Amino acid sequence: MCISGFTVLGNEADTLKKKIDITRIRYHENIEKQQKIALHYKGGDGTTIRVSHNAEINDFVTNALVGKVNALRDSIESATNLDHRLKVKYLSGLENLLKGFNTGCRNRTFNPILADALINNYKTLMDADIRKEDISPIVEQAPYEVGNININGDVSVFYENPGIVNSKNILFRKFCKNNPDKVLPMLEQYFNVPFADSLVQAVAHRNPNQLYDYAAATKTNVGRLIRRNSDSLVKAIASVANSKSGQQYYPFLDEIVHGRLSLQDIFDVMGDNVQYYKLLVRVQNAYMQRLIKKDTPIAYDKLIAKLKDRAENVFIEQINALHDSPDNIRFKILDPLTPQELYYLIVLGEDVIYTSSYKGVYNRMMEKMATPSGDTLLMNVHFDRFKKFIKLAAGYNKLDEFLATMPDSSSQRLMMAFVRGLEKTGTLEDAVDVADSYGSISNPLVKRLIDQEIEKNLMEGKKTQDKRTIVIYDILQTIFQSSQDSSIDISARLHIPPVYRLDYSALTDDSGRIVQKVYFYGDKDGKESYANFMSLFTGSDWKVKKNAEWVEIKSAKGKPVYIYANLPLDYEKGLDSVAQMHLTTYMEKHRLEPSITIHRGHSYWVGSTIRNLPPTSKIVILGSCGGFHNLDDVLRTCPDAHIISSKEVGTRVINEPILKAINDDLREGKSVDWIAIWKDLSQKFTSGDAKERFDNYIPPHKNLGALFIKAYTRQMN
C-alpha cells in the first residue's frame, strides 16, 4: 500500500533493514512494533490507522505515523553527520513519539489529527538539537499535546539541549492554562519554575478552596510556596488554614481579606452557637446584596455550607429531638433569633426538619415580625432561596397563609417569579421544587397564576427554540394538567413508564420470585422500627429465618415473596453497616435481585441507603425524602423506580399499613395499583394525628418531582 509517496511497512521496511547497522536493528524493530500497535488500534486491519470514520483522516494519520516516520528513521540511519550514539538517541525518540501517540489515543489525551504536526515538530526539534540550538522557541510555537509527547515523555531525548529546562517550563505553563484545577498538584514537581508565585496567586483568586487545602500542608513544596507569597488573598488563606480553628474562620474569608472582619471578631463568637450563627446570617445577608450585583464573594460556597450545617446540627436537631416536649421547652433555643435568622433555618433545613418543627419555626418567624408581612420578610433576605421557601410552605400547607400577609399584587408577582427562569439555573432543583409544590397548593387562583406563567414561558421558549426551556415547561404543564385530569395518559405524553401502576411481572425475577431488601440502622429508633416491622410477619402466612446479621422472610401462602432485612446492630461500632454489606454479598451470591427496596430510619441515614441502592429496584420506599437531591440520586441508580417518600421521618403507624397493602397484593399475584392502594389507606386515616402523618406520605403517582426528573432525563437524553 502506498500513501502520498510513502510505502507502509512491507517491502520498504525489508529494504531498509538491509541498510541498517546490525547494532541498531533492535531500535528500528521497536519503532515497527509501535507502528503495528497503531495500525491495529480499535481493531484495525494492519494497513491503516483507524482513528476516525473518515477515511481521509485515517490515511492522513497513517501517512504521518508510518510513511513520514519511516522516511525520518531512514534519514537518521543513513546520516553521515551522526555517530552511533546520536543515531540511537534520535531513533529512541521516534519510538517514544509512537508510544506517546498510542497511549494518548487510548487515554484520549492526544488528538490523533495532530499526528502530522507531531512528526514535523520532532524533526524540527531534532534538526535544532543537532545544531546545538535552543529548542524552546520551537516548543513555544507547538500545541501543548505535541510538546508533551516530544519533550515531556518518560525520557526526553533532548535532555542535552541548552533549552530543555525552559522548554519544560513552557510546557508546564501551557498545561496550567489548559488544566487550571490541576495546577497545585503539578506544582509540587515544578516548584522551581520562575512563575510559581504567580500560579499560586492565580489559584487563590480562581479556586481559594483548593489553595486552602494545600496551605495547611506546611512541609510540602507547594505549602512553602504559599507561605512565601505576598498576595493579600494568599496570605489570608494561609493564615486561616494554619490557625487552630481554620474551618470556623474560612467561611468569612472575603470579609477577612477586605478588612470587614478580623480573626479576633470571629474568635469572640466561635464558642457561642447562637452568636456564631447570627454572624453567619449577617454575612450571608451582605453577600446576597453583592450577588445581586454579580459580585461573587470569595469562598461563598463555604459560608452557605457552614450556615446549613449550623442550622441543621445546632437548632433543628435540638427541636426535632424534643418533639415530645412542651413548645416553651422545645423551641426555647429559637428565642434569640430574628425572623431572618429563622427563615434560614427553614430554607436550609429541608433535609432534616420534621413537620411539627417546621410549623414551630414558621409560626415564630411570623410572630416576631412587628407586622407579619411576607413580602417584607423576603425583601429583608433579598429573596435568597425564596423558591425553596415557597416549596416548603406549600408542602406544609402554609403557603395560603403566607401569601395572605401581603397585598394581592405582591403575592401574584411572587408566584410568577417562583415559576420564572427555571431554565437558567445550573441544576433541576428549582424546577423540581415547582413540580413538588403544585400538588400541595389548594388556592385555585394561585394554581391558575402558575399555569399561566408556565404557558407564557413555554411559548417564549418555542419562539427562541431553546430546547431546555421548552422541555422544562412542557413537562411541568403536562404533569400539572394530569394531576387535575386523570384521563390524560401522562406516560404516553412524557415517554416514561406507567406511573399509576406497576405490573406484577415487572417485579418478579427470573425464578418468579419478588425479592425485597430492607435497610435498618442500629440506633434506638432503628431498633424500635425493626420490632414493629417484624410484627407484620407473625402467624402462618410467613416463614421467618434469622441469623446473626439479617432475617429472611418468605411467604408461606400465595405467590413467592422473599424479604431480606439486616438486623439493627450497634451503629456506634458500625455493625449495622457491616451486616448490610454481608447481606448484599449473600444476595448477590444467590442471585437474589431486589425489585423493592425499603429504607427504615431517620433522614440522616437515608443517604447511606441510597448509596447502596440495588439498581434492580422498581419500588423504592424512603422513610423520609430529603427533597430534590435524594430523588435525583435514586433515579440516577434506578431511572424507572416508583418512589414513596415522606415530608418527614417515616412512622410505623403509616409504614406498616403501606407495606402490608403492597405485600398482600403481591402474594395474590396482583399488580401494584397506587391509586387503589392509596384510596384504601386514606379511608383508614381520616382524622387527627394519623391523617396528618398519612398526608405527609407521597405516593409514586403524586410524586411530581420524581416524574419531572424522569421525563426531563429522557427528553434531554
Residue 188 backbone dihedrals phi, psi, to 5 degrees: -60, -35
Residue 47 lies in a domain: yes
Chain segment 151-183, per-residue pLDDT in tens: 976 578 999 999 999 999 999 999 999 999 899
Residue 159 lies in a domain: yes
* Strands 697-698 and 642-646, bridge-based pairing: antiparallel
Indicate if 483 and 546 belong to the same structural domain.
no
Chain segment 357-366, per-residue pLDDT in tens: 999 999 999 9
Identify the bridge partners of residue 551 per DSSP, sorted by sequence position.
546, 565
Chain segment 444-484, per-residue pLDDT in tens: 888 899 999 999 999 999 999 999 999 999 999 999 998 88
| Predicted local distance difference test score (pLDDT) of residue 18 | 52
Angle at which helix 688-695 crosses helix 652-667, to 10 degrees, equals 70
Residue 539 backbone dihedrals phi, psi, to 5 degrees: 90, -165
* Domain of 138, in residue numbers: 2-178
| Predicted local distance difference test score (pLDDT) of residue 627 | 61
CB count, 10 Å around CB of 69? Answer: 26
Region 1-9 average pLDDT: 36
| Predicted local distance difference test score (pLDDT) of residue 653 | 80
What are the cell numbers at 71?
Answer: 522516511
Indicate if 33 and 66 belong to the same structural domain.
yes
Residue 251 lies in a domain: no
State the average pLDDT for the chain.
Answer: 90
Q: What is the CATH number of the domain that holds 541?
A: 3.40.50
Indicate if 688 and 579 belong to the same structural domain.
yes
Region 539-553 average pLDDT: 94
Task: Kindly indicate the confidence band of residue 10, based on its pLDDT and cuts at 50, 70 and 90.
Answer: very low
| Predicted local distance difference test score (pLDDT) of residue 624 | 61
Indicate if 509 and 476 belong to the same structural domain.
no
CB count, 10 Å around CB of 303? Answer: 21
Residue 274 lies in a domain: no
| Predicted local distance difference test score (pLDDT) of residue 650 | 61
Residue where the block lists cell 411559548: 459
Q: First and final CA of the chain: distance in angstroms?
A: 43
Q: Give the angle subtended at the CA of 692 by the CAs of 688 and 697, to the nearest 5°.
A: 150
pTM (2 d.p.) = 0.72
Type and span of the H or E element at 643: strand 642-646
| Predicted local distance difference test score (pLDDT) of residue 626 | 53
Residue 185 lies in a domain: no
Exposed/middle/buried for 517, CB within 10 Å: 0-12, 13-18, 19+? buried
Exposed e or buried b for every residue in 631-651, given b needs 16+ CB within 10 A? bbbbbebbeebbbbbbbbbbb
Q: How many domains does the chain have?
A: 3
Instruction: Report how far residue 166's alpha carbon sits from residue 172's, in angstroms, rounded to the nearest whole number.
Output: 10
What are the cell numbers at 375?
Answer: 413580602
**Which residues are within 8 A (CB) of 502 and not within 5 positions of it... i.e. 6 or more apart?**
618, 619, 642, 671, 672, 674
Indicate if 597 and 650 belong to the same structural domain.
yes
Cβ atoms of 615 and 592 within 8 Å: the answer is no
Indicate if 479 and 616 belong to the same structural domain.
no
Question: For residue 2, is pLDDT > 60?
Answer: no
| Last residue of one domain, picked from the residues 488, 522, 543 | 488
Question: For residue 116, is pLDDT > 80?
Answer: yes
Residue type, 579: A
What are the cell numbers at 382?
Answer: 433579598
CA 100 to the chain's CA centroid: 33
Indicate if 66 and 38 belong to the same structural domain.
yes
Indicate if 142 and 65 belong to the same structural domain.
yes
CA-wise closest residue to 365 among 357, 388, 287:
357
Encode 484-540 in three state secondary structure.
Answer: HCCCCCHHHHHCCCCCCEECHHHHCCCCCCEEEEEECCCCHHHHHHHHHHHHHHCCC
| Predicted local distance difference test score (pLDDT) of residue 649 | 58
Instruction: Report how far residue 697's alpha carbon sits from residue 702's, in angstroms, rounded to the nearest whole number.
Output: 10
Question: For residue 604, is pLDDT > 80?
Answer: no
Question: For residue 17, is pLDDT > 60?
Answer: no
| Last residue of one domain, picked from the residues 113, 145, 178 | 178
| Predicted local distance difference test score (pLDDT) of residue 487 | 82
Residue 243 lies in a domain: no
Indicate if 431 and 528 belong to the same structural domain.
no
Task: Kindly indicate the confidence band of residue 628, based on its pLDDT and cuts at 50, 70 and 90.
Answer: low
Helix (H, G, I), strand (E, B) or coil at 621: strand
Cβ atoms of 297 and 254 within 8 Å: the answer is yes
Helix (H, G, I), strand (E, B) or coil at 642: strand
Chain segment 310-336, per-residue pLDDT in tens: 999 999 999 988 988 999 999 999 999
Instruction: Report how far residue 79's alpha carbon sits from residue 261's, in angstroms, rounded to the nearest whole number.
Output: 71
CA-wise closest residue to 392 among 361, 345, 346, 357:
346
Instruction: Report how far residue 197's alpha carbon sits from residue 191's, in angstroms, rounded to the nearest whole number.
Output: 9
Region 237-255 average pLDDT: 89
Q: List, edge to edge, every strand of the sheet that includes 596-599.
A: 542-546, 550-555, 561-566, 514-519, 596-599, 619-621, 642-646, 697-698
Q: What is the DSSP string of 386-445?
A: HHHHHHHHHHTT-HHHHHTTS-HHHHHHHHHHHHTTGGGSSSSHHHHHHHHHHTT---HH
User: How many Cα atoms sit within 13 Å of 586 on the Cβ side?
Assistant: 15
Indicate if 484 and 594 belong to the same structural domain.
no
Task: Kindly indicate the confidence band of residue 147, based on its pLDDT and cuts at 50, 70 and 90.
Answer: very high
Indicate if 610 and 682 belong to the same structural domain.
yes
Type and span of the H or E element at 324: none
Residue 526 lies in a domain: yes
Helix (H, G, I), strand (E, B) or coil at 619: strand
| Last residue of one domain, picked from the residues 178, 202, 228 | 178
Residue 92 lies in a domain: yes
Indicate if 668 and 615 belong to the same structural domain.
yes
Q: Give the angle subtended at the CA of 704 by the CAs of 699 and 706, to the nearest 5°.
A: 85
Of 406 and 154, more confident? 406
Chain segment 656-705, per-residue pLDDT in tens: 899 999 999 999 999 999 999 999 999 988 887 788 788 878 889 888 88
Residue type, 612: N
**Which residues are within 8 A (CB) of 183 and not within 5 positions of it... i.e. 6 or more apart?**
176, 199, 202, 203
Instruction: Report how far residue 676's alpha carbon sits from residue 684's, in angstroms, rounded to the nearest whole number.
Output: 13
